Amino acid sequence: MDDFMKNAINPGRDPIERQMIISEAIWELLKEKTGLTDEDLVKKVREIDLRDGVLDGRVKPEPPVACPKCNKKMKKGSSTCIYCGHIIPADVFSR
């Protein structure tokens, strides 16, 4: 990423505020390019929130994943099994 991009998204500032600005920019681009509405976004947010059965603004953390090679529980957020070394592609939305 060049200096222009780094300065444009203010990486040194409050990370939550930065994430809010990036999310808002992504949403505005999606609306412009696809015709989606704010109502569509609200419906999707509620759908995701309800995946754990509770409309509370939170998503239940996922349980640890078992290594597909040795079947032992992997450390949360790890893409390499500490027991057998098997590499698993990371899921960008894992919690």
C-alpha 24 chain-centroid distance: 15
pTM: 0.61
What is the per-residue pLDDT for 49? 94
**Chain segment 35-56, per-residue pLDDT in tens:** 999 999 999 999 999 999 999 9
Contacts of 45 (CB under 8 A, 6+ apart): none
Which residue(s) pair with 66 in the sheet? Answer: 73
**Chain segment 7-23, per-residue pLDDT in tens:** 666 656 788 899 999 99
